[in-house]
A = this chain, B = another copy of it.
Amino acid sequence: MPLPQTEIPGRLQAHFSERGIRMTQQRRAILQVMETASKHLDAAQILRKAKKIDPSVDRSTVYRTLKLLKRNGLIDELDLMHIHGEGHYYERKVNRDHIHMACLRCGKIMEFVSDIFENLKQQVEKDCRFKIMVSRLEIGGYCTACRAQQ
């Protein structure tokens, strides 16, 4: 069972060399973290995990690398409705945009892919004549479990 194209390990590294971006020990560690992350890490978590691979990695290098990845459209930045403070979360960009839902009670994050979302973006591009580069739909509310038990 082949992995979907965006899940190929090392994809981020490949993008770097394609674009002539210099590869370093520290970046390799951070990219590895991003590539193997289950989901939604904040900068502090990324730093902690990267330090396990290369202990020399510094906080500022993490921020600088995240900025670089963002600028190159390789990761998405999320707020997750600021359920856990003011920080940001990061995830590898995948082909299909997805909606993030955050339960305001238990804090669980859910994802949802929808054709209607794709239609909506098409409508925006057409009706507003606006070229979409990045989009973020975040929803706060109550998940099934939390609604049941109250």
Contact = CB atoms under 8 A, between A and B. Distances in A.
Give the 6 A-B CB pairs with smallest separation, nearest first: A132-B141, A131-B142, A129-B144, A116-B120, A133-B141, A134-B140
Contact of A130 (B82, B117, B141): B141
Contact of A120 (B110, B114, B127, B133): B114
B117 A99 contact: no
Contact of A114 (B124, B131, B135, B144): B124
A110 B37 CA distance: 34
- How many of chain A's residues touch chain B, expressed as a range? 35 or more
Interface of A: 77, 79, 81-82, 86, 99, 101, 103-104, 110, 112, 114, 116-117, 119-121, 123-124, 127-144, 147
A142 B130 contact: yes
Contact of A135 (B116, B128, B138): B138
